[in-house]
Amino acid sequence: MDPEALSAALLAVVTPLAEARRQGSSAGLTAADLVLDRPKNRDHGDWASNAALKLAKKLGADPREFAAEIAAGLTEVDGIMSVDVAGPGFINITLDAAAAGALAKTIVEAGAAFGSNESQRGNTINLEFVSANPTGPLHIGHTRWAALGDSIGRLLQASGATVAREFYINDAGVQMERFGRSVLAAATGQPTPEGGYAGGYIDELGRRVLVERPDLLDLPEEEQVAAARDAAYALQLGELQASLAAFNVDFDVWFSERVLHAKGADGGPSLVDEAVDRLVAQGHVFEDEGAVWVRTTDFGDDKDRVIRRSNGEYTYFAADAAYYLNKGDRGFAHKIYLLGADHHGYVHRLKALAGAAGDDPDADIEVLIGQLVSVNGARLSKRAGNIIEMDDLREWLGTDALRYSLGRYPADSPLTLDPELLRKRTNDNPVFYVQYAHARTHNVGRNAAASGVDRSEFAPELLTHPTESALLGALQEFPRIVAFAAEVREPHRVARYLEELAGLYHRWYDSCRVIPLGDAPVEAVHRTRLWLNDATGQVLRNGLDLLGVSAPERM
């Protein structure tokens, strides 16, 4: 019996009892009103519910008496061995071994789908993260946002949401002009222009641009910067995409900022022009001293924002507005932005922008701020000179160690990684500990096959050892962990769950044999334990996949 089935059984028992106390009127209860929790002390059963405490006041009932009525009804449900009332009205439920053990077969048969749920069904989400300037390589900060953003996307999809992972390419504005001049200077052997970009990667781009555009220096002087800029931009963007792909991060949409500023067909208004007009129509725009402002203070911003200067030029806020509106036009009701630690000021600005556009700032936009990350002993990039590059980190520590470690902590907590620990092949290294547990399940499977143990028989009532009960209890939790991690946008909850599950598996492995000793015959209990072994491997594999981490079969 899984938590969903138990919740349904609890609802079926509680509803008529509640309606009887309301003199026949509908209590209007759903399974969501009857929360089930795993007791910290396993002596208190497999599941606990505070349904009686939660409903008693509303129903005018004594909590403990109401709990006793619920307990009496639950004892009649198939698969429940016993129900006890504790304290002021807590209900502790113990499943019989067969009902608890049946989950092992359910997991194996579900395979990669186990853990998927419908909690986010109907949500259409645009998830924007990384969004680095295409003027240089990705650095350590981008590495954290890439790991977190991609894992959040995986969790949301596993929970039924329709998700588009989006990278906003900041390819318009003065930084691109400086980038083009810097690359041109490198290509022609000139010093870096004032305010330009420097480093080995710029010299490399200069050489590559000359190969891509052998005609570069034959162009009129006023065209050379644009040609160098565009050629270098394409090369650098390709590098960003390759770096992310090597880190197991793929985007559905690469959105160019230039699209927002481009004039429409036949010279019609750009998306930025249209955005300003739409904000005016919403009634939160005013003019002052020739400039056009958005009254974002109506929605909690610390000051109103200029969207068009008195000289007619648009501000960055105008592009932000056009981009936000464009996401809605593409069918995304909910927008999530994952921004770096230096973007705290954007939170109120983006929320206010949603309000000024006629959306609900509390429901339609979400801004997550990731804190800084550092690595002990990491060296600055040889190419860029002043950053720690993603590619260098990945080659040094490995994709799995980086992705798992970055996903293991909340986004809003500063983080320092210990490279010595992450390179260890010991249980002190969390990613090794979890991956080793997965590899061990495959080793058990290989040894079982060699010893004639297969899954031709399944007798869940035989899974009675305390370590089996604990392991099954943890396996039951996986779908709820996935759903909750998706709801709160916190992949670290999956990582911590996997570590707990790995520990329970190792303890089970030490206590319960899948392969008979010596010449003893293969029995039903051995075949049934193989189901439990394989179920654990499947959940470990599914959880690691949500974090973008591989699940090796041998270590």
Of the chain, the percentage scoring pLDDT greater than 70 comes to 99
**Domain boundaries, given as residue ranges, for the chain:** 3-95, 101-119+424-546, 124-171+251-373, 174-246
Token pair of 288, please?
């002052």
Q: Identify whether the C-beta of residue 6 lies closer than 8 Å to the C-beta of residue 93.
A: yes
Which architecture does CATH list for 124-171+251-373?
A: 3-Layer(aba) Sandwich (3.40)
Architecture of domain 101-119+424-546: Orthogonal Bundle (1.10)
- Whole-model pTM: value is 0.91
157, pLDDT greater than 80: yes
Rounded to the nearest 10 degrees, what angle do helices 97-110 and 524-546 cross at? 50
Query: Which pLDDT score is estimated for 46?
Result: 87
d(CA 341, CA 178): 25
The whole-number pLDDT of residue 190 equals: 96
Backbone angles phi, psi at 146, to 5 degrees: -65, -45
CATH, domain range 3-95: 3.30.1360.70
**pLDDT at site 25:** 56
Tell whether the torsion through CA atoms of 477, 478, 482 and 483 is positive or negative: negative
Cα dist from 75 to 78, 80, 252, 310, whole Å: 8, 6, 50, 75
Average pLDDT estimate for 240-254: 98
- Where is average pLDDT lowest: 1-10, 317-326, 363-372, 468-477? 1-10
* Residue 201 pLDDT grade (very low, low, confident, very high; cuts 50, 70, 90): very high
How far apart are alpha carbons 199 and 117 in whole angstroms?
48
**SS3 of residue 81 by DSSP:** strand
Q: What is the pLDDT of residue 26?
A: 57
Question: Can you tell me which residue has the tokens 């709820």?
Answer: 480
